[in-house]
Amino acid sequence: MSRVVTRRRTAAALVTAALLVPLAACGKDDAKKDAAADKSDVPKAHLTVLAASSLTDVFAKAGAVYEKEHPGTKVKFSFAGSQELAAQVKEGAPADAVVTADTKTMDGLKPDTGKPTVIAKNRLVIATGEGNPKKIAGLKNLADSKLKVVLAAPEVPVGRYSKQVLDAQKLTVKAVSQEPNVRAVLSKVAMGEADAGLVYKTDAATAPKKVDAIDIPDAQNAVASYPAAALNYSEHGKAATAFVKWLSSPEAQKILRDAGFQKP
């Protein structure tokens, strides 16, 4: 091969590379513009989101990030047990979106919501007092009549999951109280009013200096799914739908993962 041909090929390669660099840069710029356009297309609104109690801490962080990314938009959360949220939706409570801790509750709201999207999953743990003073090792210990065990009411998702795992192990646990949501269960244990309780892993993680979390083997556990949906009667339908969609974005998912929630 002559030196002239080699030089021509080298020159052609350099020209091609020079052309590709600005094209790559344009690609990145276009992606940024598209992302910015997506955000600019979302109308500004003051949103009210009804959310399961177990999302209290993580949604406070997620909401702050969303507001920062969408100037002019405010997100207000109303936390309660999923069964309470469902009752509010059916009564037409002023809200824009709902996130429950189980698909069963969300399925009962089909006439009132858009298509739900599962944004996260969770598992149960046994919450005990700090240091696990009663030396609770697993589910079987909860059947000990000497222990004060608190559970969520059976109509609450976490209460239903608790019943599911206890029934599967053929265990009878006489709870000293049945609470309206998972945070109430956690509070009873944290305050020393109960020796143990079944809560979500993420809830136990919010009180590391007050409770210990005893893991339940996957084979004995239950998986909680968190579906989110915009409400059909929302006055800010497009903004509500945009927020629900954002909950599945990489950024929102990282916030959920960091809080201990599992992938959908």
> Has residue 29 got a pLDDT over 70?
no
Question: Strand pairing of 149-152 and 117-129?
Answer: unpaired
State the Cα–Cα distance between residues 105 and 84, nearest whole angstrom. Answer: 10
Terminal alpha carbon distance of the chain: 59
> Has residue 128 got a pLDDT over 50?
yes
Average pLDDT over residues 219-236: 97
State the Cα–Cα distance between residues 168 and 171, nearest whole angstrom. Answer: 8
pTM above 0.75, yes or no: yes
> Has residue 61 got a pLDDT over 80?
yes
Which of the four pLDDT bands, split at 50, 70 and 90, describes residue 1? very low
The per-type count for the chain, helices as H runs and strands as E runs, is 9, 9
State the Cα–Cα distance between residues 87 and 33, nearest whole angstrom. Answer: 41
Which of the four pLDDT bands, split at 50, 70 and 90, describes residue 38? low
Contact (CB, 8 A) for 47 and 97: yes
Which domains occur in the chain, in start order? Answer: 46-121+224-258 (3.40.190.10), 122-223 (3.40.190.10)
For 33-97, the three-class secondary structure string (H helix, E strand, C coil) is HHHHHHHHCCCCCEEEEEEEHHHHHHHHHHHHHHHHHCCCCEEEEEEECHHHHHHHHHCCCCCCE
